[in-house]
Amino acid sequence: MVFSQDEYGNDRPVVSLEFDKDGAVAFKEATERAMAEPETLDRVIYIVLDDEIISAPVVESVISEGKAVIQGQFDVEGGLMP
């Protein structure tokens, strides 16, 4: 498990992603589309599992190298926190 400190100095879990070649291209294209949105709240990538949105992180930049991290409110044992 990897942790990062938030703006208050609290440790928060970080999810790391690494894509294969095809996935890296698809994710780059998706983040390019997200970054083209004029409003920050529209720059979202939805993560869906079993037809349920489990996370919706805001894209902060185009991700072109096939590696990404998701930071936010996660429960180490159970995943996304309410």
For 45-79, what is each residue's pLDDT tens digit?
A: 998 889 998 888 899 999 999 999 887 666 555 55
Range of the domain at 8: 2-80
Indicate which CATH number applies to the domain containing 61. 3.30.1360.200
Choose among 10, 18, 24, 23: nearest CA to 74: 10
**Total domains, the chain:** 1
Give this prediction's pTM: 0.71
Q: What is the distance, to the nearest Å, from the Cα of residue 66 to the centroid of all Cα atoms in its chain?
A: 12
